[in-house]
Every structure is written in structure tokens, then in C-alpha cells.
Amino acid sequence: MRKKVVALMMAMMFAAPMGVLAKTCKGTIKSFDGKTMVVQIKGKCKAEAGQEVKIKVKKKAVVEGC
């Protein structure tokens, strides 16, 4: 019984931060001027103004021909 309780506590400790850190938002860059970027968000996003974010650009698939 004690092993099950410890396993449950460990699983909750490791799973809880993953949900907090896994925030994703999708959008389109509308303008870019030097160090300022304006992004239009599609749908809901939990990010707030002034919050630091990391942006990944979606890669387009390349189709090679003959």
C-alpha cells in the first residue's frame, strides 16, 4: 500500500509542472519592426502582456519533383 501511495505522489509531482509549462498558442506575424513583433493569435491563449515567450517558426514541407 505504501509503495502505491509513494508512486502516486511521484507521478503527480512530475506530471503537474508539465501541464503548466506546455502552453502553446498559434498565430500569424502581422508586423516586425526591429525588436518589436506584432502577432495575431488564433483562438484562445493563456499568455499575458509582458510575459516572456519562445517563438518557433513552423517549417513548410518541401516536395521534390523529378
Grid cell for residue 56: 518557433
Grid cell for residue 30: 502581422
**Per-residue pLDDT tens digits for 39-66:** 888 888 888 888 888 888 888 777 777 7
Q: Which domain holds residue 60?
A: 1-66
Residue 33 in this model has a pLDDT that exceeds 60: yes
Question: What pLDDT is attached to residue 35?
Answer: 87
Region 3-17: what's the mean pLDDT? 74
Q: Structurally, how many domains does the chain consist of?
A: 1
Cβ density class 19-51: b for 16+ within 10 Å, e for less: eeeeeeeeeeeeeeeeeeeebeeeeeeeeeeee
